[in-house]
Amino acid sequence: MVVSLKPLDRKILRDLWRIRSQAFAISLVIAAGVGMVVMSLGMMRSLDATRDAYYDLYRFADIFAPAKRAPKSVLEEIKAIPGVSVVEGRINAGATLDIPGIAEPITTRIHSIPSGREPRINALVLRSGRWPDPKQPDEVLASEKFAEAARIGLGDNIDALLYGKRQHLRIVGTALSPEYIYAIGPGQIFPDNRRFGVLWMGEEHLAASLDLTDAFNEALVRVDRSADARDVTRKLDRLLARYGGVSAYPRSEQISDRFVTNELAQLKTMTGILPPIFLGVAAFLINTVLSRMIDAEHEVIGLLMAFGYRGQAIMLHYAKIAVALSVPGLLLGLALGSWLGRGLAAMYQNFFVFPFLNYRAGLDIYALASLATVAVVLLGVFQSVRRVQRMTPIEAMRPPLPPNYAGAAARLIGRMRALDEPTRIILRGILRRPIRSALGSLGVAAALGLYITSAGSHDNVARMIEILFDQSNRADVIVTFAEPRDQRAIFALQRAPGVWRVEPMRIVGAKLMGPRQSKSEGLTAATPGDDLNRLVDIDGTITGPPPRGVLISYGLSNELGLSIGDPLEVQVTEGRRGHFTLPVAAIIQSAVGSPAYVDATMIAAKMNEAPLLSGAYLGVDPARIDELYRYLKVTPAIAGVSLRAAARTGLDETIGETMGIVTMFNTGFSALIVFGVIYNNARISLAERSRDLASLRVLGYRRSEVSYILLGELAILTIIGLPFGIAFGYLLSRWLSSSLGGDLFIVPFGLTASTVAQAVLLVLFAATITALFVRRRLDRLNLVAVLKTWD
């Protein structure tokens, strides 16, 4: 095939070939910026869409209304509440499992499923096996992730301790539920699938075990789209009060949904902040590179003008070059971003446990990323070409006048006697074009800052884990009781094998009310001097409970609309259900959750009861831990056990698999940008200086001496960029960590010196590699051409 190209188009191809290595670096930078946007937005949208579809398809409840024991006849009354479309009663229970091959007791949540039909609300996705046979009392379904992690297979028998009774259960199938997208045990903030599981059991059999025949202890409600959910909740509370109802709550307070929403909000923040900055930095770099390239082309532009080419045609020519330069990077970025976005979404699908994934990158994302890139690139071209076109053709064609260096700064350098001439060339070169030099340094700074921010996410999470496990939660084992117990439980636990310290855990179920809104959030009772579970704020400061009043988290104070000194209204939802107010004594930035802390003695007095325990924090001799596990597995009162070491390991693994990978990609993209920036800086300097450098070579300068001039400038611009990059990275990282705060946990700012050092080393490494590469180019300078003699 013979393709006939216009000469100018042929010039485009040759120009692109000539600058191919620079074009490659530009493509990488564009690909990084575009890829980041497509990856992040694609993943975000997919997760959002997947969650919504999952909730919808599997009829996730709108309202959860727990009670102590309500007869099934009440369900009809609930159905009659205006706005309620579907209602279902079910039975929930906590239990511990003894699974062969696992030393520690496993905490589980057991839910009833209707006999002979699928649940109308919170439907299950049957993943393997079959539904339990209503005639077989021991058959259960297990949550899929738990079955995998605990290595339980279909047909396996397990022992459960259910309300003090030992029961044999047989796994006949595995399932997923929209209720457990984020499956966490009591008091945990990250999933540990090996040590927390969910079972579903035939309603009649669970009812029999719990003495709840023809009754339920939780009503699930779906409401009409037009209904006022708050109103329905209030009516539910009123209806269930006499059956031990403890305040119905909406989906948004359901623990899994809260975490998923929180996680997605964090991802949204991450994707809302970093990718646009990535794209912005990439665009800025391309703009700089293009305008410098076009400046160098001004003789050609002058020639075209002299030949009578119209302004538009010339503009079009360079626009074509710019677009051709950006298209490979754009395509690469779109492909890479889609691929990684899909991969990341699949990873989160696994982490969040979705049965399917709706991948939605969307044409609009592609269009947005492409348009933004092309617009910036064209703007760069337009500005530069216009600048040349303002000259007369003859001015433009003339070799560039030597820039005027006769400024005050240049004189100052002249007076510095200690400098040699090559150093003067470097310094004057930098000072002569302060804006251009500043942009060069700024590019390095931006790339460095992005890298620090990306890699710093790791530090922030590490700091969070440190606050969580080293400063706050220091108990080796936390046990929770099925029902609150009195102080004698402490003595019993003190006698348990290996236990050297016991501290009481007391969480009073309550509804907290402020001027803005109310929230079901337990009051955590603490004793001054508690050592195993300490109140730690985001800066690592340890505080105790106030002697009077309540200490609340910053997030909670915001939600409820409270400041220090304001009264917090408390409606206790258990025991005698007291109603009182407590003054807000302090507000702290709590690292985890949005807790309200009170003094244990003070709250017992307020509630008019002897201090009770919801559970206990245990300090355990590691040598006797297995002995303790055996003891706990057979202790009837215990509904849940959580282990610090296991939780920490699980958390490390989880983060490694999720956030770690996102961080890795971000870091990789920013490293690409670092290389792209430095390489382009060097190549442009080389192009601008090659004539001077070749002259010096002709005059007898050695290669090393000539390299010094070029690489010295690169080194100085890079080094000037470092402190700004560190400052930019520090601020951006700090801002990002503060933006990530949710009501479940706050991400502290934990950027370490070693991450900064690593980033600086990367820049220096990139500069060194570039220097070696450019040095090779210097060796090939055309000395003859410099004499301008074409004989």
Partner 1 sequence: MASAPPLYRIEGLTKTYGEGDTAVQALRGVNLDVPQSAMVVLLGPSGSGKSTFLNIVGGLDQATSGHVHFEDVELTGLNDHGLTEYRRHHIGFVFQFYNLVASLTARENVALITEIADEPMDPTDALALVGLENRIDHFPTQLSGGEQQRVAIARAVAKRPKVLLCDEPTGALDSQTGVRVLEALDQVNRELGTTTLLITHNAVIAEMADHVLRFADGQLADSRPNPNRRRPGDMTW
Contact positions vs partner 1 (CB under 8 A): 399, 401-406, 410, 414, 420-422, 424-425, 428-429, 432, 691-692, 695-703, 705, 783-784, 786-791
Nearer to partner 1, 308 or 399 (CB): 399
DSSP string, 680-724: HHHHHHHHHHHHHHHHHHHTT--HHHHHHHHHHHHHHHHHHHHHH
* Cα–Cα distance, 376 to 290 (Å, whole number): 11
Q: Residue 57 to residues 52, 62, 124, 174, 455: CA-CA distances in angstroms?
A: 9, 13, 10, 19, 38
Q: Smallest distance from the beta carbon of 11 to partner 1, in angstroms?
A: 22
For residues 4 and 404, which CB has a smaller minimum distance to partner 1 in the complex? 404
Q: What is the CA radius of gyration of the chain?
A: 34
Q: At its nearest, how many Å lie between partner 1 and the CB of residue 698?
A: 6
CB of 384 to partner 1, least distance (A): 21
CB of 768 to partner 1, least distance (A): 24
Q: Which of 472, 685 has the CB closer to partner 1?
A: 685
Closest CB 428 distance from partner 1, rounded Å: 4
Residue with tokens 């917090």: 568
Nearest to partner 1 of 626, 779 (CB atom): 779
Q: Rounded to whole angstroms, how far apart are CA atoms 48 and 46? A: 5
Between 76 and 421, name the residue whose CB sits nearer to partner 1. Answer: 421
> What does residue 553 show for φ and ψ, rounded to 5 degrees?
-80, 160
Nearest distance from residue 299's CB to partner 1, in Å? 14
> CA–CA separation, 175 vs 502, rounded Å?
37
**Tokens representing residue 480 in the block:** 């929770």
Residue with tokens 């760069």: 380
Q: Which is nearer to partner 1, 490 or 786 (CB)?
A: 786
C-alpha distances out from residue 786 to 394, 688, 695, Å: 22, 13, 6
Residue closer to partner 1 by CB (options 425, 673) is 425
- State the minimum distance, in angstroms, from the CB of residue 16 to partner 1: 25
Q: Are the CB atoms for 785 and 694 separated by under 8 Å?
A: yes
CB 694 → partner 1: shortest distance, Å?
9
Q: Which residues pair with 474 in a beta bridge?
A: none
CB atoms within 10 A of CB 708: 18
- The token pair at 408 is 């005050």
Closer by beta carbon to partner 1, 387 or else 691: 691
CA-to-CA separations, 672 to 23, 32, 35, 639, in angstroms, rounded: 14, 7, 12, 51
Q: Which is nearer to partner 1, 245 or 429 (CB)?
A: 429
Q: How far is the CB of 402 from partner 1 (least distance, A)?
A: 4
Name which of 246 and 714 has its Cβ closer to partner 1. Answer: 714
- Among residues 199, 193, 58, the alpha carbon closest in space to that of 119 is found at 58
d(CA 246, CA 109): 18
Q: What gap in Å lies between CA 230 and CA 225, rounded to an integer?
A: 13
Q: Which of 670, 255, 241, 638 is nearest to 455 (CA)?
A: 670
Kindly state the DSSP code that residue 634 receives in the 8-state scheme.
T
CB of 710 to partner 1, least distance (A): 13
Report how far residue 309's alpha carbon sits from residue 294's, in angstroms, rounded to the nearest whole number: 17
Closer to partner 1 at the Cβ: 76 or 791? 791
Residue labelled with tokens 């991969």 = 343
Q: Specify whether the CB–CB gap between 83 and 223 falls below 8 A.
A: yes
State the minimum distance, in angstroms, from the CB of residue 440 to partner 1.
16
